[in-house]
Structure 1
Amino acid sequence: MNTWILFLGILGYASAQGRFRPTGNIAPGQQIAILRQDSVLNPDGSYQWSYETENGISANEQGQLKNVGGKEPGIDAQGGFQYTAPDGTPIQLTYRADENGFQPQGAHLPVPPPIPEAIARALEWIAAHPEPENQPGRRF
């Protein structure tokens, strides 16, 4: 449920920014048919849903309750969506949402630049040579 809300929020934000437009020339007020829509909610809390529209948008998600160590269980969900961007680029995003947060993957998502070699070596050296006050078992 939380992932669905997050998905709709991202879609709404992108739409408001003018970054998401369904494929084709769609006039204001034009209706787009839903070609397929499925939804299953099981008594154990697991679920799955999917849909596909005539303008090439599709989405799916499945999830289940997961014990994350708190009073209430969390949800472990995975899914994805796809559509064609206004410039004709196919957009496909898959994700997992669990106790580690929302983890999207897609060829269109930005990636950080590689860590410079000198910084990587410095981080390795620091990890291999902890300061005396950071060594296990030392008391202050």
Structure 2
Amino acid sequence: MMIKLFVTLTALLALTVAAPAVDDASATILTQENSLEPDGKYAWKFSTSNGIQAEESGQGGQSVQGSASWVGDDGVPIVLTYTADENGYHPQGVHLPTPPPIPDYILRALKYIEAHSQNN
């Protein structure tokens, strides 16, 4: 339940922050679907007149997968996909920051340590 709540709130927060404010005041819901099964499986999706689309499905309290898309303030479409399960929340999207590459000297040091490890 906490995973679902966290993921849903995260996706909605991202949509609220990133969606163009000009269209938000007059946006309307174009489509909306919700499904909840007795075994805890669920699914929902919606789309709005200002270009926001989102969907999510999963097994309550165990795992979820979903996506959201909108147009950023700069006019560039943004697509976010995510999963969440016992291994955590895993968002993906070209708009998300990525870590810098590991410096070559660190890679060489790790190879040296591995080659000279006493556990070999």
Q: TM-score, normalised by structure 1?
A: 0.72
Q: Cα offset for 1:123?
A: 1.2
Aligned identity (percent) is: 45
The change in CA–CA distance for 1:92 and 1:114 in structure 2 (over 3 A counts) is same
Q: Which runs of 5+ in 1 are unaligned?
A: 66-73, 136-140
Q: TM-score, normalised by structure 2?
A: 0.82
Match of 2:36 in 1: 41
Question: 1:46 and 1:14 mapped to 2: Cα distance?
Answer: 24
Specify the SS of the correspondent of 2:108. Answer: helix
- What letter matches 1:127 in structure 2? E
Q: Taking CA–CA contacts closer than 8 Å with sequence separation of 6 or more, which of the two structures ends up with the larger relative contact order?
A: 2
Match of 2:87 in 1: 100
CA RMSD of aligned residues (A): 2.5
> Which consecutive segments of 4 or more residues in structure 1 shift more than 6 A?
none
User: Could you give the per-residue CA deviations for residues 18-58 of structure 1, whole angstroms, max 9, x where no partner exists?
Assistant: xx25347237xx34211111111111111111000011001
Figure out how many residues of one structure are paired with residues of the other and give that number: 119
Q: Cα offset for 1:10?
A: 5.8
Q: Cα offset for 1:9?
A: 4.4
Q: Highest Rg: 1 or 2?
A: 1
Match of 2:100 in 1: 113
Q: Which runs of 5+ in 2 are unaligned?
A: none
